[in-house]
C-alpha cells in the first residue's frame, strides 16, 4: 500500500482557523487606528493654528502692532486679518483665547473640541484643546492619559508662541 504524504484537509482547516484567531487578537495591537487618527488630528490643528499665527504676525508687523502686549488692546481692537473681526494679539501672535483662535483659524471648535484653560493662570496665557471623545477631558493631570494640544501665547517680543502636543493618552 502507498503511504500518504502531506496534510489532510481537516489539519489544513484547523491551522487556518488558529491563524485567523491569532490575527484577530494580535492585529489591534499593531494597527491602532484610533490613536493614530487622534494624533493626526491634533497635528492638523497645531498646523492650522501655526499657519494662522504666521499670517496674523505678518499683518501685525505690517501695521506696526507686533510690539503690543495682550493688555494693550481695547474691546474690538486688534489686527485686521480679513475675517471681519479684528484679532487681538500678544506681541504680534494670537492670544490664547478661544474666540481669537476661532476667528483666525476660521473654524468652530464647539462641535469637535473641548477648550479649557489650565489650572495655573500665570503669564503667558495658555489654552488647552482636547478632541471630543478622546480619553482626555482637558482636566487630566496624569501624563499617560493626556491627549491634547496646549497653545501658549508669546510672553514678550523675544519669545514665540508655544505649541505643545501631549499624546501619551491618545
pLDDT level of residue 35 (50, 70, 90 thresholds): confident
Question: Which 3 state secondary structure label does DSSP give 13?
Answer: helix
Q: What count of other Cβ atoms lies within 10 Å of the Cβ of residue 99?
A: 13
From CA 44, how far away is CA 105, in angstroms rounded? 12
Q: For residues 5-19, give the mean pLDDT.
A: 88
Q: What is the pLDDT of residue 169?
A: 86
Q: For residues 33-53, give the mean pLDDT.
A: 92
Q: What is the pLDDT of residue 122?
A: 65
Task: Say if residues 128 and 148 touch (Cβ distance below 8 Å).
Answer: yes
The pTM for the full model equals 0.77
Q: What is the pLDDT of residue 145?
A: 80
Q: What is the pLDDT of residue 162?
A: 94
pLDDT in tens, 48-100: 999 999 999 999 999 888 888 887 777 778 888 888 888 888 899 999 988 88
Query: Nearest CA to 151 among 105, 108, 117?
Result: 117
From CA 159, how far away is CA 124, in angstroms rounded? 10
pLDDT level of residue 13 (50, 70, 90 thresholds): very high
- 25-36: b or e for each residue (b if 16 or more CB lie within 10 Å)? eeeeeeeeeeee
From CA 79, how far away is CA 100, in angstroms rounded? 11
Q: Residue 163: CB partners within 8 Å, gap ≥ 6?
A: 46, 49, 50, 149, 150, 151
From CA 143, how far away is CA 69, in angstroms rounded? 32
Contacts 24+ apart (CB under 8 A), 116-119: 118/150
pLDDT in tens, 118-168: 766 666 788 999 988 888 766 667 777 888 999 999 989 899 999 999 998
From CA 155, how far away is CA 161, in angstroms rounded? 8
Amino acid at each position: 500500500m502507498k503511504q500518504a504524504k502531506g496534510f489532510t484537509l481537516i489539519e489544513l482547516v484547523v491551522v487556518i482557523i488558529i491563524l485567523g484567531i491569532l490575527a484577530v487578537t494580535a492585529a489591534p495591537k499593531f494597527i491602532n487606528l484610533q490613536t493614530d487618527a487622534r494624533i493626526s488630528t491634533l497635528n492638523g490643528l497645531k498646523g492650522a493654528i501655526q499657519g494662522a499665527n504666521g499670517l496674523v504676525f505678518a499683518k501685525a508687523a505690517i501695521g506696526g502692532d507686533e510690539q503690543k502686549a495682550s493688555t494693550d488692546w481695547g474691546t474690538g481692537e486688534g489686527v485686521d486679518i480679513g475675517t471681519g473681526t479684528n484679532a487681538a494679539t500678544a506681541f504680534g501672535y494670537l492670544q490664547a483665547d478661544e474666540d481669537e483662535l476661532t476667528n483666525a483659524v476660521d473654524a468652530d471648535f464647539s462641535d469637535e473640541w473641548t477648550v479649557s484653560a489650565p489650572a495655573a493662570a500665570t503669564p503667558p496665557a495658555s489654552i488647552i484643546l482636547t478632541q471630543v471623545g478622546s480619553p482626555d477631558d482637558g482636566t487630566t493631570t496624569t501624563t499617560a492619559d493626556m491627549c491634547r494640544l496646549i497653545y501658549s501665547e508669546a510672553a514678550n517680543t523675544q519669545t514665540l508662541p508655544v505649541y505643545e502636543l501631549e499624546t501619551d493618552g491618545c
